[in-house]
């Protein structure tokens, strides 16, 4: 509770909508910092990791189009281009024209990126488990369900 007060958030005054939003935002910042610290020695950001994982698992051996990556990660095409340029320069992705439509680039992870993901993944999963220590499994399940419901409501078109 004192943590919230340090940000000027008064808990328990009936402003549950504010408490929910601020709580999620503060939690995001804490998690983002700790995950970022874990990825730093690998010279990765959370954004780069998300892109590499998406390419690897959604694209597989065939690759995935830049547009599909953008849609999956909810990133603008311009930002995706910049991120892919960086990843390509670092040797983590390769682009190739889609057979039959040279206007579409297919993106694939390189062997270097695959090795990097294989190396960091076990520790990453351990970190995620560590970050939820203290929250009983049943509460984790409930929280996950509530967040998915909330996201679903906010993304209704």
pLDDT of the residue at 149: 95
pLDDT of the residue at 118: 97
Residue 45 has pLDDT above 60, yes or no: yes
Q: How confident is the model at residue 67 (pLDDT cuts 50, 70, 90)?
A: confident
pLDDT of the residue at 1: 52
Among 4-13, 113-122, 140-149, which stretch is predicted with the lowest mean pLDDT?
Answer: 4-13
pTM (predicted TM-score)? 0.82
Residue 74 has pLDDT above 90, yes or no: no
d(CA 135, CA 147): 15
pLDDT of the residue at 140: 95
How many percent of the chain have pLDDT more than 70? Answer: 95
d(CA 79, CA 71): 12
For the stretch 51-90, what's the b/e string if a residue is b when 16 or more beta carbons lie within 10 angstroms of its beta carbon?
A: bbbbbbeebeeebbebebbbeeeebeeeebeebbeebeee
Q: How confident is the model at residue 156 (pLDDT cuts 50, 70, 90)?
A: confident
d(CA 7, CA 45): 26
């Amino acid at each position: 509770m004192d943590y919230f007060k340090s940000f000027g958030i008064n808990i328990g005054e009936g402003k549950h909508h504010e408490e929910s939003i601020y709580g999620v935002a503060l939690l995001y910042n804490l998690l983002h910092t700790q995950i970022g610290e874990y990825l730093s020695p690998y010279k990765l950001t959370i954004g780069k990791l998300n892109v590499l994982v998406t390419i690897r698992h959604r694209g597989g051996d065939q690759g995935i189009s830049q547009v599909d990556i953008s849609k999956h990660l909810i990133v603008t095409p311009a930002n995706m281009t910049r991120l892919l340029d960086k990843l390509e320069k670092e040797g983590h992705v390769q682009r190739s024209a889609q057979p039959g439509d040279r206007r579409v680039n297919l993106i694939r992870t390189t062997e270097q990126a695959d090795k990097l993901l294989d190396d960091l993944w076990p520790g990453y999963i351990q970190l995620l488990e560590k970050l939820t220590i203290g929250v009983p499994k049943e509460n984790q399940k409930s929280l996950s369900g509530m967040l998915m419901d909330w996201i679903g409501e906010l993304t209704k078109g």
